[in-house]
């Protein structure tokens, strides 16, 4: 989009994209933790409290990803509007 308007876009656009990517990485890490926890639970029995913490951390990560996705959609729409010919 920066190439289309031949000038750099606002810094909030790149920061929103960075935040979205960071949120994706957090959710991926939490999901891996959940998978590891589920596989170890099958071998050693159910440690209930730790399992709930892992799922809760995943839910928090998903909430942050949802908020970041909404923000990045709005930011990209604004960037698109800025690149349209007048």
Q: Please, where are the H alpha helices in the chain?
A: 2-5, 11-44, 48-83
The set of residues, in sequence order, having a beta carbon less than 8 Å from that of 7 and lying 6+ positions away, is none
Residue 47, pLDDT > 60, answer: no
Alpha carbon of residue 4 to chain centroid: 27
Dihedral angle computed from the Cα positions of residues 14, 60, 67 and 15, in that order, rounded to the nearest 10 degrees: -10
The set of residues, in sequence order, having a beta carbon less than 8 Å from that of 61 and lying 6+ positions away, is 23, 26, 27, 29, 30
Residue 23 to residue 4: CA distance in whole angstroms: 28
pTM: 0.79
Residue 64 exposure: Cα atoms within 13 Å on the Cβ side: 18
What is the pLDDT, as a whole number, of residue 43?
60
What is the pLDDT, as a whole number, of residue 25?
98
């Amino acid at each position: 989009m920066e190439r289309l308007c031949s000038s750099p876009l606002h810094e909030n656009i790149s920061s929103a994209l960075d935040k979205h990517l960071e949120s994706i990485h957090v959710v991926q890490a939490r999901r891996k933790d959940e998978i590891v926890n589920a596989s170890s639970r099958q071998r050693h029995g159910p440690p209930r409290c730790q399992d709930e913490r892992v799922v809760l951390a995943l839910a928090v990560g998903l909430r942050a990803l949802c908020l970041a996705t909404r923000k990045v959609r709005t930011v990209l729409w604004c960037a698109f509007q800025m690149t349209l010919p007048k």
